Amino acid sequence: MLSYVIKRVLLVIPTLLGAAALVFVLMRLIPGDVCVVRLGSSGGTFDPKAIALCHAELGMDRPVLIQFLDFVWGCMRLDFGTSMWSGRPVTTEILARLPISLEIAILATLVAIVIAIPLGAISAVMQNTWIDHVVRIFAVGGIATPSFWLGIMSILFVLNFTSAVFGKPWMPPIEYVPIWEDPIHNLSMAMLPAITVGYRYAAVSMRMTRSAMLEVMQEDYIRTARAKGLIRKLIINRHALKNALLPVVTLIGIEFAFLIGGLVVTEQVFNLNGVGRLFVQAVQNQDYTLTQGLVMLTVIIFVVCNLIVDLLYAWLDPRIRYS
């Protein structure tokens, strides 16, 4: 088990270096110049000296290799440089927006797990019954429904429901407050977008759980367990579900990493000032440094999530750690 863990951890290093090189090159291929945007000009003309001075100030006049090495060294120290637009450290900009996106991603993942795994397993066990059909309709509805429409409908539902029950409409607060300072305020703000995102997230995971369970239930060792006279509940929980979770764990890990930087639409609908909105602002302002930092943050989260998934594989299926 220890050698398996060491091999997986060592694979993280070349993965991050390759991702850093790719991100660095792609950022330089984007058309436009942040200095032109920063300086601006009503007549459309720019002073070459001013632009050269701006390039020197931002370090864009140095050789590309030196810029890349500085970028890699900064990533190793979690120092992504200074924002070309705001002039503040990129780490500061990210840390100001990351908590809310991270919290919604965690809550949405918990919602998805609580919904997807039990319903997916029940749907597979009760195959072709009315319960299976209801669960499948519920899952297909979540996959087919656009996230922005679902968010808008959830807001309208809360407004209409609270207006009918309490006599006046109520909306969750917009301002972010850490959960340790005011849990009620924090959860009031985060639960609606988390449930909205979690439902769509659960729909995909539910379908995967059902498919994996149906495949595992046809395996020889399941038939052997039935022939031995083991009770159905024990067969499903100990033998079938545990092995069926391998592809589900992969999907959950990938979706969680995607949610950190992929909540752009959700944050726009619920007016949340998270990492997704910061992505949009960085691209609009042609802020290479901030965009690089955000992309590398997403890459790091993806790599870490994949590492955790690999370790969970070894726990769920002991055969993997010895392969």
pLDDT tens profile 4-30: 777 777 778 888 888 888 887 877 776
> Is 44 contained in some domain?
no
> Is 189 contained in some domain?
yes
Distance of CA 112 to the CA centre of its chain: 13
> Is 80 contained in some domain?
no
The pLDDT of residue 146 is above 60: yes
pTM for the predicted model, two decimal places = 0.77
What is the model's pLDDT at position 321?
56
Average pLDDT over residues 77-81: 79
What is the model's pLDDT at position 261?
65
> By residue range, what is the domain housing residue 179?
96-321
Structure tokens of 259? 């949610």
> Is 54 contained in some domain?
no
The pLDDT of residue 312 is above 50: yes
- Report the largest interatomic distance among the alpha carbons of the chain, rounded to a whole angstrom: 85
> Is 315 contained in some domain?
yes
Q: Which residues of 95-130 are buried (b: 16+ CB within 10 A; e: fewer)?
A: eebbebbbbbbebbbebbbebbbebbbbbbbeeeee
2, 211, 280 from 34: Cα distances, Å: 48, 49, 15
The residue whose two tokens read 């409908």 is 153
What is the model's pLDDT at position 284?
76
> Is 29 contained in some domain?
no
Round the CA-based radius of gyration of the chain to a whole number and report it: 24
Structure tokens of 111? 């919602």
What is the model's pLDDT at position 74?
79
> Is 156 contained in some domain?
yes
CATH number at residue 260: 1.10.3720.10
Confidence of residue 320 (pLDDT cuts 50, 70, 90): low
What is the model's pLDDT at position 48?
74
Q: Which amino acid is at 59?
A: G
> Is 192 contained in some domain?
yes
pLDDT tens column, 97-135:
888 888 888 888 888 888 888 888 888 888 888 888 888
pLDDT tens column, 233-273:
777 777 777 778 878 888 888 888 777 766 777 777 777 78
What is the model's pLDDT at position 43?
45
| Rounded Cα gap, residues 174 and 192, in angstroms | 11
Sign of CA dihedral 186, 192, 197, 202: positive
Q: How many domains does the chain have?
A: 1
What is the model's pLDDT at position 42?
44
